[in-house]
Amino acid sequence: MSDAARDIFADWSLPIWLTLSIVVTAAIYLRGWLAIRKTRPEQFTDIRLASFLSGLSVLWLAIASPMDGFADALLSAHMVEHLLLMSAVPPLLLYGLPVVPLLRGLPSPLLRGIVGPLLRISALRRFGHSLVTPIIAWLLMNLTFLCWHVPAAYDFALEHENWHAVEHLCFLGTSLLFWYCILWPWPAQTHRRNWGILLYLIAADLVNTMLSAFLAFCDRPVYRFYLDHPNPFQVNPVQDQILGAVIMWVLGSLAFLGPAMIITLRLLSPSREH
């Protein structure tokens, strides 16, 4: 292990509140999952539980582990962090069918006194439903992705830790909406997949490809932060930028085109569609 890597591990300290929040979320989900599994064992399988808990684990790895220190030093590591937040965590969480287990796992006073009344507000329900319409979810995720990669915004987030956390919340929140419109986790109304979902995924991949290509073929560092804060690994900023762009281009495209291929096969074999 290099001295730079050792320094990052040495400087890392466990983010107590963030880690506690993730652990509490896991405990709430597990409590609700155990309760609903009694009546719906065929729906809430061990795979669903493993998926949700894996999503929380990857979330912790991305923003609470020493990886966050590497992401501050290397653009390429930062791109890996963004990919985890936007393309790995949301599908894993949503495949766990989290809505009902999280509600049933809450303490009864909290559910009846606060959460329940909020969910019964019709205006709030309409607003929530509007967010998970495909066009809105697609726009929110992709505009958020592009806006935070504008050099001024990207550098500002790295210079200000609180805004960096806001950036992560924006990525995670809008990506949950994006993937929700693909998976439609129960008890959402089932949407039979059609060819439009392929356009949804391919269009998102085009946005990712355009940004990745710009970063890969630009002959200068796009983000000034990496010039003002030379990384301890002595990696050339342009080379680091190219590596980050390739990671985002290849893995990001797989995240969109992989599901698109699976959906295409199912659309071509209607008998396999559930």
Torsion of CA 169, 88, 273, 42, to 10 degrees: -90
pLDDT in tens, 140-159: 999 999 999 999 999 999 99
Give the span between the Cα atoms of 60 and 231, in whole angstroms: 24
pLDDT at site 57: 97
Position 192 confidence tier, pLDDT thresholds 50, 70, 90: low
Q: For residues 111 and 103, is the Cβ–Cβ distance under 8 A?
A: yes
Closest by CA to 51, choosing from 99, 102, 97, 92, is 92
pLDDT band at 273, cuts 50/70/90?
Answer: very low
For the cut 60, the answer to whether the pLDDT of residue 217 exceeds it is yes
> 159 with 225: CB under 8 angstroms?
yes
Q: Which two tokens stand for residue 152?
A: 């001024």
Average pLDDT of the residues in 172-197: 87
Tell me the average pLDDT across 232-249.
93
| CB-count burial class (<10 Å; 0-12, 13-18, 19+) for 223 | buried
Predicted TM-score (pTM) of this structure: 0.93
The C-alpha atoms of residue 73 and residue 77 are separated, in whole angstroms, by 8
Please name the residues in contact with 55: beta carbons below 8 A apart, sequence gap of 6 or more: 88, 89, 90, 91, 92, 93, 95, 96
Residue 24 binned pLDDT confidence (cut-offs 50, 70, 90): very high
The answer on pLDDT for 160 being more than 90 is yes
Q: Does pLDDT of 67 surpass 60?
A: yes
- Helix residue ranges per DSSP H, the chain: 3-11, 16-37, 46-63, 67-73, 75-83, 89-95, 99-105, 108-110, 116-119, 122-131, 134-147, 151-159, 161-183, 196-217, 225-228, 237-268
Spatial contact of 22 and 56, defined as CB atoms under 8 Å apart: yes
pLDDT given for residue 274 in this prediction? 47
pLDDT digits (tens, 9 = 90+) for 103-151: 999 999 988 888 889 888 999 889 998 999 999 999 999 999 999 999 9
pLDDT tens digits along 37-54? 999 999 999 999 999 999
Check if the beta carbon of residue 158 is closer than 8 Å to that of residue 225: yes
